[in-house]
Structure 1
Amino acid sequence: MGEQLKIFAPATIANISCGFDVLGLCLDGVGDEMTIRKVTSKGVRITKIIGQDLPLEVEKNVAGVAALALLTNLDRELDFGFEIEIKKNIKPGSGIGSSAASAAGAVFAINRLLGNPYDQTELVKFAMQGEQLASGNAHADNVAPAIFGGFTLVRCYDPLDIISIHTPKELVATVIHPQIEVKTADSRAVLKPTVTLKDAITQWGNVGGLISGLYTEDYDLISRSLKDVIVEPLRAILIPGFDKVKQAAIEAGALGSGISGSGPSIFALSKGKENANKVAKAMQSIYENVGIDYDIHVAGINAEGVKVIDQPILEL
């Protein structure tokens, strides 16, 4: 046996303001490392988690649940199994796709070790089962960009239809992560089950404008479209200093700013690394006075998604 993959499982930003549960993007250089190996014993085992106190029990871990979803769907019985090690660099509850990274990484690596029997959309379906465990909702706006890379649109959930969206070359993300936890389940609990027709029309226009702006690399159009009139007003109260951080980011030159996923992370998109760094300093200046520790990242858009970083072959 002895075959294994070491992979990079990237962080992601979901929703991107106007695209609740359907839009997401993949971050470059921010993510987890995972090692998945084939072993002689059948089934899935999680042998080690570094960096976070998370369950090793397969049925209680998003990577384990996603891996089991893939293996259960196979049309053949395997005479071997898989061991998973995870180095968690993305903190759970951070709003930049911690659970999605683990789930996407697990199914990507197992699929590769099996000879790629599944396409990317099928891998998203399996990874969504990990999201179901984490948040109570099998959403794809984080796992889709983690697997596909770049910007993605979930055009439809039933049947699942993922569309890769063009990424403008100069687009750079800034993400500030306050060291508080906002659970996805809790952030969903504040949402209303219905919206007004006026707000829905505004949101549809912004989604269409953002997609168009990305394809045409029209940064002014991207800026005008990065607005959320439905979800952000309800979730903003869960994030200390949100309004001030958003205002500071835009005044510093960001195209737009909003809640990353379910929060508490706040993202901004900028044209160029120089602007993104100015935005980072502006965001930091607000949080220096809030009294909450934070991490901050300036990252380009990762067009590849989950990727192999090392592929040693071990002899057992």
Structure 2
Amino acid sequence: MTGTAGVAENGMPSILRAACVSVGIDAGGAEPIGSQTVYRLHDGIVARIGGRGEKLAVGREVAVARWLETCGVPAARLVPDIPQPVVVDRRAVTFWQDLPPHHPGTPADVAKGLGQLHRLPLPGFELRRMMPLARLEEEIAAAQTVTEQDRRWLRAHLEELRGRWKTRPAGVPWSVIQGADWAENVVVGDDGDLILVGLGEAVVGPPEWDLVHVAIECWTAAAITATEYADFCAGYGRDVMRWDGFYLLRDIQEFRMALQSLRGATVNPAYQGQALRRLAYVRGDKGMRPWPGWAELD
């Protein structure tokens, strides 16, 4: 659904008002939540405003949310009975039911959430298949804070990873996976119910990809303890580090994370130290994991 009325200087409040008018929701008293793209409205409604040109991505998130509701999986819910997303000035606006009081999930909670997601049959709509090494040449070319020698190594390492990916060990059947950081994407209501959130990056891929990310949190970044990782494995029923393909997926994820920091340093010099540290780690210059100072980017 597309609206154009009420947009002034592409301001977020104007976009929000136009979207609300088009679906009959009162925008009066809207309060931003942490940014100028998420607003709390009346009657327990939260509006999210996507970036320009993100209609397809937001549409996938809407489809995944509706699919999870159909499957009976506790997850963030859309406001029912209105067409979504609403597009105003090329920005896709969605309306969600506000979450109940909640707190972050533990690694054991994350394991439960991942298990629920991975066991679902594939949805009846088209969802992108994971291509973990796609478009990384562009990432390398765009890195402006590395030397040409560094760039040559990055390209050679990418080719090595591509060769390993083509001959990767077999794993469990592909399913819908979250595909990104689960640190804030599983919450637990104060009543004890687990809720999946932040599934905008969901794709069809190897379930091991999500598990490897948690292993990296422990054994690369030391962001969770060995005991918490053991609780995660017990909750999921599997330790992905015992799978033959673990090292490949770990190396790909760490490489992508290093490129992420290089991209950040290109636009913000404050990230340069972390970018060079990650590059040195993945290149093997700094010893064995866990790697001190391997930190999440803000």
Taking structure 1 as the reference length, the TM-score comes to 0.28
User: Considering only CA atoms, is the larger Rg found in Structure 1 or Structure 2?
Assistant: 2
Larger relative contact order (Cα-Cα within 8 Å, sequence gap ≥ 6)? 1
Structure holding more helix per residue: 2
Taking structure 2 as the reference length, the TM-score comes to 0.29
